[in-house]
Amino acid sequence: MLKTVVCVSGGGTNLQAILDAVEDGSITNVKIEAVISNNAGAKALQRAENNGIPGILMAPKDYPDRESFNVAFTEEMCRLAPDLIVLAGFLVKIPEEMVRRFDGRIINIHPSLIPSFCGVGYYGLKVHEKVLERGVKVTGATVHFVNEGMDEGPIIAQKAVTVEEGDTPESLQHRVMEQAEWVLLPQAIDAIANGRISVQDGKVRCVRRMEEA
């Protein structure tokens, strides 16, 4: 069983998609060991409690400085010793030491087709606002391994979503979540858990394409 820790900052809809996929068998060989949030009011923590999963609050503001938080966060993750760390809408930069210690074992879901609309400042609703401002016709979501950069790690999978006439940032955000994020992330976790995808020397190695699983 792949011991997995999910990190979330907000409502946890991607977390719920993971939990539902584990429940219905779309994800196999995975056990969610804990949910970590930097936000005491995050609905994700309630979702964790509802499913009997330990919820852990770790907020940078509760530490004297960012370095202290980074050390504590990394130590807590080492204590949990997960096989996989899933960033499912986690708005905290992962400490470089944690990236090194869990190299090839951290994945992230980003609400755009990387390399478009990603990097510093592109998160949550801001991504969809920028998509609409730019006037692009197709957006989507990306699952990627995490490295020391911001949204720069090797891409695992992407799924396109059409931008529709009259879209608002909110309507586009929901469609990207429903059509892409909630589909891609469970697929990626299942593929990793069952040895179909890994990262080696900074490149994704696919034994079998996810859609063929």
Bridge partners (DSSP) of residue 2 are 30
Catalytic residue among 110, 128, 144, 174, which? 110
Closest CA to 117 of 66, 147, 161, 183: 161
CA atoms of 133 and 7, how far apart (whole Å): 29
144 is catalytic: no
Closest CA to 8 of 31, 50, 30, 41: 41
Q: From its phi and psi, is residue 208 left (phi > 0), alpha (psi between -120 and 50) or beta?
A: beta
CA atoms of 42 and 92, how far apart (whole Å): 14
Active site residues: 110
